[in-house]
Structure 1
Amino acid sequence: MQETAAPEPTLTNEAFTAALKSPPEDVVKRCGAPIAGMDEVLTPGGILLLGELHGTREIPAFVGTLSCHVASAGVPVVVGLELPREEQRALRRYLKSRGDKQARASLTEGGFWRRPYQDGRSSEALVALVERLRVLRAQGLSMSVFTFDAPGQGSQRAAAMAHRVLEVRKTAPRSTFLLLGGNVNTRTARGTEWDETFTPMGWHLVRAKQPVRALDVRYSRGTAWTCNLVTGENQKLDCGATPATPPAARSRDKSIFRGPRAFVELTPEYTHEGYDGVFYVGPLTASPPAVAITGQPH
């Protein structure tokens, strides 16, 4: 992200928190209703990791609402997306565009958007999020977007992703960072159920002494656009809208699945995966690929 560093926020943490708790009427009109609990996890200059389920409408929309409220409170926002670095130039160009049909075509002309198997990261909802940030930026709010995905697999990829985040962080140390990524790499604790040696991106950011908060997604039943391996004589990926079932409630998880209203909830005991709490988005709706691929398997 080769842009001029955002100006440092001038308001205090207390004033920022108050603005998030009780935003004025014009901010609610612009951003939507405040998300309950967001004032407890957002700070000027902080990094919020949001561990998502790819391929839904609601989760990118949640990020857009958070971004709008933070920027409206007077703090520059930097949104990080789990997209390849090669897409950075197109994103930056789109944010400065008028958002017309030609600009959108240019945004999604890269190979990432046209892969044979679309796994949910190149969804219509992601494009809608970028468009929302473009509009807010055009209205005078301080918004920028960067990509932090990296080639490779496992811990090597996670380390490269963290390096990218830290690289961008140096250009805007006083901005609030909202990082949307898969809910394995946004953990801050080492190890998974399938690989005890795995070191996620979030762990590297904490080790680098960054002001990190990490939240895992929660939702009620719905659908998500995913790719699943179909086993048999000829193994293949099958992509499409599939049922999304909420994770089984953990004994120490205080989150309650309650209705359609989004909220954030800190859960201090929820430390096994290194999350500080959860963000809840209500029922999920699958978001199809932003670019329809002829012959797309689904």
Structure 2
Amino acid sequence: MQLWTRVMAALLLTAGLVTTARADETAMQIRQHAGEHRLLVLGEYHGTRETPLLVRQLVDDYSRDGTPVVLALELPRSEDAALAAYLASEGDADAMTALRSGRYWSVIGDRHDGRRSHDMLELIEAVRALRVQGRAVQVIGYDLVVSTRGNQVRDDAMAARLRQVYARMPGNARMLVLTGNVHAMRQRPADAPPDMQLRPLATTLADLDLYSVRLDARKGSIWGCLPDTCKSLPLRDRPGRELRVSTEPGRQYDLWVWMPELSVGRLLK
């Protein structure tokens, strides 16, 4: 039994190293093309295991030279006090329980869009660990209350919150915004109905030093919500896709990166 335990631990460690290496490669691509932009908007598929690891790598990379980094997550701003308390804690079980006691983290079954996961909690813990090392990093929420559905009011409110935090940052600080891929668009979605009013939050923030990145993958699965259920959904295989840089006036993203694979994260239930 002890031998089997050691073998399994070695396999898990190897898998973790591979995943980390992939995150490091994608993070390097993003940093290379984003350059000195101070506001990075990362458009994701919610509910994956790989994206929180990528964001963790970016926070680590950007803060390593002493640069202050604000990580803005698509969770209610009402969670900010709990986030601050956890970041100031020792990261023990009691502190995690207190963080998860908020309404946002309380879900029933699978009826949520994937943003609530152990992977996201581990991302927050990783930021706390960087603070222990002396890094100038923090985590904030910028969404409205839990019951608010996606609409123009919500996007405008989220953008206003991000603009407010950005205005208070030191001149050398960076903000990393993790959000759904539609919110990260610089332009109204091309396939939106003609009568649909939609200004994604990135559009509203375009006057700032913004760089929009679409996080995609060549294969894998994501967590998505259909009218009657939320479940794991397969991505269409797109082998050979490489990063795409765009500077066209009508672009939706400045950069489109393709991770090797995405998988459904460890969702809270």
> Does the pair score TM above 0.5?
yes
1:188 maps to which residue? Answer: 186
What secondary structure sits across from 1:141 in the alignment? coil
Moved over 6 A (4+): none
State the partner residue of 2:131: 137
Q: Deviations over 1:248-278 (max 9, x none)?
A: 79xxxxxx436xxxxxx45125665521111
Q: Which residue number in structure 1 is paired with residue 31 of structure 2?
A: 38
Deviation of 1:191 (Å): 4.2
User: Contact 2:116 / 2:267 at 8 angstroms: preserved in 1?
Assistant: yes
Deviations 1:153-172 (A, max 9, x none): 32221111100001111221
**Contact 1:240/1:288 (CA < 8 Å) preserved in 2?**
no
> Aligned residue for 1:23?
none
The AA in structure 2 aligned to 1:278 is W
Q: 2:211 aligns with which of 202, 213, 226?
A: 213
1:176-230 alpha-carbon deviations (Å, 9 max, x no partner): 0100000111111134412343111001111xx210000112202112233322x
Q: How many aligned residue pairs are there?
A: 240
Which residue matches 1:21?
none
Verify the 8 A CA contact 1:120 1:288 in the aligned structure 2: no
Deviations 1:6-52 (A, max 9, x none): xxxxxxxxxxxxxxxxxxxxxx99x9566235232042x61001000
Answer yes or no: is the 8 Å Cα contact 2:182–2:189 preserved in 1.
no
CA drift at 1:82:
0.6
Tell me the CA shift for residue 119 of structure 1. 1.3
Q: For residue 169 of structure 2, what is the aligned residue in structure 1? A: 172
| Stretch of structure 1 that moved more, 159-168 or 143-152 | 143-152
Deviation at 1:287, TM superposition (A): 0.8
Q: Indicate whether 1:126 and 2:120 are aligned.
A: yes
Conservation of the 8 A alpha-carbon contact between 2:45 and 2:180: yes
1:101-147 deviation per Cα after TM superposition (whole angstroms, max 9, x unaligned) = 11111111112112331211111111111111111111111101111
Whole-Å separation in 2 of the counterparts to 1:125 and 1:81: 13
Partner of 2:17: none
CA distance in 1, matches of 2:236, 2:131: 35
Report the equivalent of 1:257: 241
Give the structure 1 partner of residue 7 of structure 2. Answer: none
Aligned partner letter, 2:256 = V
What is the TM-score normalised by the length of structure 1?
A: 0.73
CA RMSD in angstroms, aligned pairs only: 2.5
Structure 1 residue runs of 5 or longer lacking an equivalent are: 1-27, 230-235, 250-255, 259-264, 293-298
Instruction: Give the equivalent residue in structure 2 for 1:240.
Output: 231
One-letter code of the match for 1:226? G
Distance 1:182 1:270 in 2: 22
| Identical-residue share of aligned pairs (%) | 29
Distance across 1 between alignment mates of 2:106 and 2:138: 24
Q: Which runs of 5+ in 2 are unaligned?
A: 1-19
1:53 CA drift (Å): 0.2
1:201 alignment counterpart: 201
Q: Does structure 2 conserve the Cα–Cα contact (< 8 Å) formed by 1:81 and 1:146?
A: yes
How do residues 84-163 of structure 1 correspond to structure 2 at under 5 angstroms? 84-116=76-108, 117-150=111-144, 151=148, 153-163=150-160
Report the Cα distance in structure 2 between the residues aligned to 1:198 and 1:109, rounded to whole angstroms.
Answer: 33
Please, what TM-score do these two structures have when normalized by structure 2? 0.81
Give the match for residue 5 of structure 1. Answer: none
CA contact (8 A) 1:219 1:282 kept: yes
In structure 1, C-alpha distance between the alignment counterparts of 2:150 and 2:263, rounded to whole Å: 28
Letter in 2 for 1:212: L
Kindly indicate whether the alpha-carbon contact (under 8 Å) linking 2:49 and 2:266 is maintained by their aligned counterparts in 1: no
Q: What amino acid is the match of 2:161?
A: R
Q: Does 1:74 align with 2:66?
A: yes
Mapped pair 1:274 → 2:265: no
